[in-house]
Amino acid sequence: MESLRSKKGFICDMDGVIYHGNQLLPGVKEFVEWLQKEEKQFLFLTNASSRSPKELQNKLYRMGLEIGEEHFYTSALATAKFLQNQAPGCSAYVIGDHGLYNALYDAGITINDVDPDYVVVGETVTYGYEHIITAMNLVNKGARLIATNTDITGPIEGGIAPACRAFVAPIEATTGKKAYYVGKPNPLMMRTGLQILGVHSSEAVMIGDRMDTDIIAGIETGLDTALVLSGVSTRETVKEFPYRPRLILNGVGDIAE
């Protein structure tokens, strides 16, 4: 644990690590206070694309945590950055909520449902049959398929809900085209996180609750890894994977202690 506390940079998943639904998880306040007191570089990095960093900041503020907007990075921002680098000034048909739309707009990407360069899919509460029809026909006409993340489900109060990969699946199935997934575990998002923090991978740790996104992303990017049992993965499901986190903790509060 002491080697973990000596790290300069901390990249933390959010849902299942910092909060669950609208409830702050035990030990999180103490963990954040410790990060600030020790002047650690930290970033809350989430695969969820529906909210902007400002909205995430406000959400935590309502839970009693005051954290600067610069400490948040989403798969929507990572997707916008990817498209901006790949094809500056491109256009996209977008399935997603305002967090994704705003990120793309800020990156100079125009919305186009006639002849877009890309079809971009993120989480949304308004997903429907018409989205599938439009997306599949645009992809069949040549638009490239991009998805914000590989999460197939996400935790909600009272259970789980479909996430990005569940929305992409019908489009992949009906077109025969595979999406390019930008968010975790894609190292692209992790490397950007390290750049934001200004630390080397050997000086940082990835803290997450999912083996299939958080922990594998940390391992493949060369970060130290800590799995917390406050979200999706359990000690039993860890055994199903051919890789392991270096540490398994009950929650981030263990680090502050």
Q: Where are the beta strands (DSSP E) in the chain?
A: 9-12, 19-20, 23-24, 41-46, 72-74, 91-95, 110-111, 118-121, 144-147, 153-156, 159-162, 180-181, 204-208, 224-228, 247-249
Give the span between the Cα atoms of 2 and 6, in whole angstroms: 6
15 is catalytic: yes
113 assigned ligand-binding residue: no
Q: For 9-35, give the DSSP string.
A: EEEE--BTTTEETTEEPTTHHHHHHHH
- Name which of 100, 210, 235, 226 is nearest 155 in CA terms: 210
151 assigned ligand-binding residue: no
Cβ proximity of 206 and 16 under 8 Å = no
Give the span between the Cα atoms of 253 and 29, in whole angstroms: 8
Cβ proximity of 224 and 7 under 8 Å = yes
- Cα 50 off chain centre by: 10
- Looking at this protein, which amino acid is placed at residue 32? V
Coil, helix or strand at residue 145: strand
Give the span between the Cα atoms of 87 and 145, in whole angstroms: 14
Give the span between the Cα atoms of 61 and 18, in whole angstroms: 12
Q: Which residues are tagged catalytic? A: 13, 15
Binding residues for substrate: 184
Binding residues: 13, 15, 184, 209
Binding residues for Mg(2+): 13, 15, 209
